[in-house]
């Protein structure tokens, strides 16, 4: 049931917020031992908040837009009084004394925290297998990964453990798991949503966004969390439009560009390619014009990202030294060895790998050869997008080269893991908005995602096209085979 319909039923008194919370807590209890989507379930807080919503409705108060809606939060977003671990031993017992801007806005809108979701440690990964607290599994097939780094949020929404969830996207960490789990995942324009209270991975790339089972629900969440924030220097000071207003406007006259480099990728599954091209043809039948577009530096995105992102991670994670907060090793005899031991014991192997890469790229003698050169290529990638948007309104690609891969299949080969974000990374480098939504299933019954990319702050048009495709395709309802975890 959509957020809009739940809101209508709550206002009419046909369902209570407590009933909604009870239903989702029951679902979590039933399936999460199989999935490990949640690191913490905030049942007591959720029920207390639900009762307050019901009391307000009974008293005749006008309910805010998300009143009573159970929402899960990726565990790298600070929640006051609720442990925020980033799935790392380094922050295993960290309880923030403040609320992130996005979660604060959700609670002000009446949404209810149902729990904190699992992720790759410090959001570094593409499968939710680097979590210090165990892997999350895919609800469509528990022998498969849910994607990452926001795999817990994607799996929780797909399995019906919450109505919607928040994730963060640094190189595809919302869109790729949305594709693998058959849900909608939206990465807004960089700066459209505040990053204050998001534990930083790569500050020039990170962006918070929603997971939902429909484009309309994702738009409802974005409506609440978007907007400028004086506490975030990168926050854009521009008005927030009504994201639902253009949903039903005709698509005729709009131009959708198919990035040819994306469809020529080595390793792109034939089933994924066919399903995504079928989605493009359906959009054409709805009135859009399809145009082939070239972004010549698109394939340089992954090499560029794996210089810039680790470099920023190296700087951001330097604060975890065992002095101010977080884990501290007790086995050291002096300050220097304490820092060394703390970081050795507190960080997992993937986080250490990226810190080492980033530290090397920023070191004297190499910063020009690697980091500065990567920033120049980033500019060229952005210019390719700018050129493309002079010819088309929206760009279309597969979200990921394949469907969800098997648990453990990429853990021994970091490069193969990194390549799963091949088609999403350039969007982050350019700071653009993009959405992944289901467009079909492979022969194993695993979901396939199509990615739509918009120009800067063009979320309204992006959501309009995505919504009309979703309504016409009705992919999940028409699945040929495959079944969600019962």
Query: Which residues carry out catalysis?
Result: 74, 149, 173
Question: What are the tokens at 443?
Answer: 């022969």
Going by their DSSP bridges, the two strands 164-169 and 70-74 should be labelled as parallel
Phi first, then psi: what are they for 168, rounded to 5°? -130, 150
> In 181-288, at which residue ranges do the beta strands (DSSP E only) sit?
184-187, 207-212, 255-259
The Cα–Cα gap between 302 and 297 comes to 10
Q: Where are the alpha helices (DSSP H) in 184-247?
A: 215-225
Identify the sign of the CA torsion 181, 182, 184, 186.
Answer: positive
Residue 193 pairs in a beta bridge with 226
C-alpha closest to that of 188 among 167, 160, 165:
167
Contact 236, 192 (CB under 8 A): yes
Structure token pair of residue 483: 């079944």
Q: How far apart are CA 62 and CA 45, in angstroms?
A: 22
**Residues 342/334, Cβ–Cβ less than 8 Å:** no
Q: What are phi and psi of 140, to 5 degrees?
A: -80, -25
Q: Tell me the C-alpha distance between 114 and 183, whole Å.
A: 19
**What tokens does 195 get?**
């990053």
Residue ranges of E strands in 243-374: 255-259, 289-293
The SS3 call for residue 165 is strand
The residue length of the chain stands at: 486
Contact 174, 185 (CB under 8 A): yes
End-to-end CA distance of the chain: 18
Identify which of 149, 175, 164 has the alpha carbon closest to the alpha carbon of residue 87: 149
Q: How far apart are CA 153 and CA 120, in angstroms?
A: 11
Contact 192, 224 (CB under 8 A): no
């Amino acid at each position: 049931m959509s957020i809009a319909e739940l809101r209508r039923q709550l206002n009419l008194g046909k369902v209570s917020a407590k009933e909604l919370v009870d239903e989702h807590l029951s679902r979590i209890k039933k399936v999460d031992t199989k999935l490990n989507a949640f690191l913490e379930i905030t049942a007591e807080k959720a029920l207390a908040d639900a009762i307050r919503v019901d009391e307000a409705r009974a008293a005749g108060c006008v309910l805010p837009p998300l009143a009573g809606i159970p929402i899960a939060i990726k565990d790298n977003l600070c929640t006051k009084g609720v442990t925020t671990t980033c799935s790392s031993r380094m922050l295993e017992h960290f309880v923030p004394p403040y609320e992130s801007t996005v979660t604060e806005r959700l609670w002000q809108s009446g949404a209810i925290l149902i729990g904190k979701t699992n992720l790759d440690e410090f959001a570094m990964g593409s499968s939710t297998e680097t979590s210090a607290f165990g892997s999350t599994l895919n609800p469509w097939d528990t022998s498969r990964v849910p994607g990452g780094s926001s795999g817990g949020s994607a799996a929780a929404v797909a399995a019906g453990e919450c109505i919607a969830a928040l994730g963060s996207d640094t190189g595809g960490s919302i869109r790729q798991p949305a594709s693998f789990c058959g849900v909608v995942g939206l990465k807004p324009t960089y700066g459209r949503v505040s990053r204050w209270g998001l534990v930083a991975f790569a500050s020039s790339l990170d962006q918070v966004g929603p997971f939902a089972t429909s484009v309309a629900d994702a738009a409802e969440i974005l409506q609440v969390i978007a907007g400028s924030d004086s506490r975030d220097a990168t926050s854009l000071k521009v008005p927030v439009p009504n994201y639902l207003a253009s949903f039903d406007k005709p698509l005729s006259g709009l131009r959708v560009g198919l990035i040819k480099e994306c469809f020529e990728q080595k390793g792109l599954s034939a089933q994924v390619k066919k399903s995504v091209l079928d989605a493009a043809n359906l959009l054409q039948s709805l009135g859009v014009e399809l145009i082939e577009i070239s972004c010549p530096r698109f394939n340089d995105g992954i090499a560029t990202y794996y210089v810039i992102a680790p470099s920023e991670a190296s700087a951001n994670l330097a604060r975890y030294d065992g002095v101010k907060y977080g884990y501290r090793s007790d086995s050291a005899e002096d300050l220097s060895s304490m820092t060394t031991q703390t970081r050795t014991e507190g960080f997992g192997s993937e986080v250490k790998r990226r810190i080492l890469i980033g530290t090397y790229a920023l070191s004297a003698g190499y910063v020009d050869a690697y980091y500065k050169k990567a920033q120049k290529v980033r500019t060229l990638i952005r210019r390719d997008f700018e050129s493309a948007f002079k010819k088309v309104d929206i760009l279309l690609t597969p979200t990921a080269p394949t469907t969800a891969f098997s648990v453990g299949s990429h853990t021994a080969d970091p490069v193969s893991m990194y390549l799963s974000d091949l088609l999403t990374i350039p969007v982050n480098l350019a700071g653009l908005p993009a959405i992944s939504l289901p467009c079909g299933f492979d022969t194993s019954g695993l979901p396939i995602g199509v990615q739509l990319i918009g120009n800067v702050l063009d979320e309204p048009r992006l959501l309009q096209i995505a919504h009309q495709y979703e309504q016409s395709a009705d992919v999940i309802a028409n699945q040929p085979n495959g079944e969600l975890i019962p």
